[in-house]
Amino acid sequence: MFAMKLTLTVLGALLYLVGTLGWFFWAGPDLVGTGTNEALLYAFAGTCAWLLTSFGLAIQIIKTARPAGSLDKPQA
């Protein structure tokens, strides 16, 4: 089971890294460089989607590292 979780974690990190690099070094600059209203709206929407994904990933990591009820339970 540990190998499955590790594989999924590494695959998720790799996909996030590829998506981030692809957006900031290929798709985003190309859309901004085009300069039309439609392309700029797509660039804005893509950046918003990337930010939402990043914040969601950060929240997931924090919740996984420290579950919600961990502060309520006294240490024995």
Mean per-residue pLDDT over the chain, rounded: 87
Alpha-carbon distances of 73 from 62, 66, 76, rounded to whole Å? 18, 12, 9
| pLDDT tens profile 26-42 | 999 999 999 999 999 99
Q: Kindly write down the DSSP assignment for every residue of the chain, as one continuous string.
A: -HHHHHHHHHHHHHHHHHHHHHIIIIIHHHHHHH--HHHHHHHHHHHHHHHHHHHHHHHHHHHHHS-GGGGTSPP-
**Amino acid 75: pLDDT:** 59
CB 39 within 8 A of CB 28: no
- Report which of residues 51 and 67 the model is more confident about: 51
pTM above 0.85, yes or no: no
Domain extents for the chain? 19-62
